[in-house]
Amino acid sequence: MRQRGTLQPLSASTPTTVRRALFVRDLIVPCAIGVYAHEKGKRQNVRINVDLNIASPDAPHDDRIAQVVSYADVVAGIRTLVDQGHIHLVETLAERIADLCLEDRRVDWVRVRVEKLDILAEAESVGVEIERQWVE
């Protein structure tokens, strides 16, 4: 039994990680997005938030980035997506980001929020949030 104030090693049968999640918060990227004429031919800032659940949180990673889902890879992938050309709907961008994240089989669930920041004067942002999950 563990006593308060003392560190004791965990037994081999005690889980050390119950859940591992990766997140990207408030990533702001310029994006060619929108269906209206005044949105065509220019970029506007969008804020992106991503939450990922890792399917095997206890998989050994040996302190090596190649062994984990990397937030740097997620951000780089998002930047590549928004640089591929004009997107009409925030829903489309959110789905593409979810697809990107779920390409890594270590990810079993993703939540993506995409917000347009400079659309309505009376609102800080407008957008969409989606969740996707592998079902086997």
Catalytically active residues, by annotation? 116
DSSP 43: -
CA separation for the pair 26, 55 (Å, rounded): 24
**Crossing angle of the two packed helices 90-102 and 71-82, in degrees rounded to 10:** 140
Token pair of 117 as six digits? 């920041």
Burial of 110 (0-12, 13-18, 19+ CB in 10 A): buried
| Residue 124 CB-half CA count within 13 A | 2
